[in-house]
Structure 1
């Protein structure tokens, strides 16, 4: 397992065999459950894959934040500056799904930003919806235990842009255990969890993960759409999507 406190081997990355579960309790109870692979990487030391495996996993700056930074760190720093926060001076770990065969979809990417002494200073939860839009929530180090943020981004066509998130996003240390809950009008509307066990990246492990979860980001995107159709057929009311206004650092 990845070492506690370091989360990923020096100069390496960790692959997490993960289970993603969404339980909707607003209006109708409904659960979505699927398995996939997540990567935990140092944004400054991305894994270098053998040429034959590169189509199976890639990380590009254009897939995150405003997509215009030359590097993942540059995109993160542009976002932090837009929020009036100084850039991270130390290690930044990112949890995300990789681009596979040219396709990427990350419902949730998480960044743990440390200072030069290794102290966690910020946690950033970046959310993508199936309409190609992005929004990031800036949280403090308390997000490793519990943090809150007002919902400000359209994700599901069956939930309004209202309510408050409660997030628990600890730095993975060989085990991945993230929880995001949404409360609307004082009642729990949605609980999402991501749980998994990590192993240091090797070419063999990537090949096996790709066999277990072929086209993982595409499968996740299709699963969300299929479950959306099922909810629509159950006559769950659709909430119109508002015009998306890019936040500071995304313009």
Structure 2
């Protein structure tokens, strides 16, 4: 089993075209074993709750996060045979959660990495999973298939660097389109054991972190709109099915 950890993160978004714009903020993420989620004292549980409904579009309610992941993998013909799964994600804080990016490292029962699932959430309440087959350095590529930003169409492809974190977390996502790199996002951090003291201190230094992340992203969107960056309509109906298929 993996000892739960907290990563104090520094997240940076850089937009290169058609205008240059970048911002950086601090947050934190949990690193957990899906079969051994943290067990916190009663008074801390409202600040760190992992709800299966927050992940994976599944019409059938699942009892656990692991059940939801296994159902998603089964749709792609993957059976981990009870292998280990570690995850980097955000927990609910006082009933609210926002997971711009969740990562799941999926191993078979022999300990070999089978795949990585990258789940992306947008600020409209949508979510989409990308099934990645990274190389030994954690690098993978995948076509963009989900509407994330009102300033980027659903085209191009991503280069991702998603090595499983140890003492250090170092994740990068690069969007490629027509030979250019319009957008880059990075997330870096250092691990701390998720002790009661660490979790409590994090709530004092970074209160309501999921809400603050969502608010910061929206604020940056308003700043780009004020700079007259063209808006890309959000897909609806048949266009939504085509964009997310």
TMscore range, shorter length: over 0.9
Say if 2:39 is the partner of 1:42. no
Matched ranges for 1:167-246 at <5 A: 167-243=160-236, 244-245=240-241
Question: 1:175-194 deviations in whole A, cap 9, x for unaligned?
Answer: 10000000111100111001
How far did 1:133 drift? 0.5
How far did 1:145 drift? 2.7
CA contact (8 A) 1:20 1:192 kept: yes
Q: Which residue among 38, 44, 51 is the counterpart of 1:53?
A: 44
* SS of 1:136 mapped into structure 2: strand
Matched ranges for 1:1-251 at <5 A: 10=1, 12-66=3-57, 68-87=61-80, 89-142=82-135, 144-243=137-236, 244-245=240-241
How far did 1:35 drift? 0.3
* SS of 2:66 mapped into structure 1: helix
Within 2, Cα distance between the matches of 1:58 and 1:210?
A: 13
Where does the alignment leave 5 or more consecutive residues of structure 2 unmatched? Answer: none
How far did 1:141 drift? 3.7
Cross-structure match for 1:6: none
Moved more, 65-74 or 234-243: 65-74
Higher RCO (C-alpha 8 Å, min separation 6)? 1
CA contact (8 A) 2:119 2:130 kept: yes
Cα distance 1:166–1:37, how it changes in 2: closer, same or farther (>3 A)?
A: same
CA contact (8 A) 1:127 1:136 kept: yes
* SS of 1:142 mapped into structure 2: coil
* SS of 1:123 mapped into structure 2: strand
CA contact (8 A) 1:56 1:210 kept: yes
Within 1, Cα distance between the matches of 2:207 and 2:55?
A: 22
CA contact (8 A) 2:80 2:108 kept: no
Q: Which runs of 4+ in 1 moved over 4 A?
A: none
Within 2, Cα distance between the matches of 1:143 and 1:49?
A: 34
Question: 1:149-193 deviations in whole A, cap 9, x for unaligned?
Answer: 000000000000000000000000111000000011110011100
Within 2, Cα distance between the matches of 1:161 and 1:213?
A: 33
* SS of 1:138 mapped into structure 2: strand
CA contact (8 A) 1:144 1:171 kept: no
Normalized against structure 1, the TM-score is what? 0.91
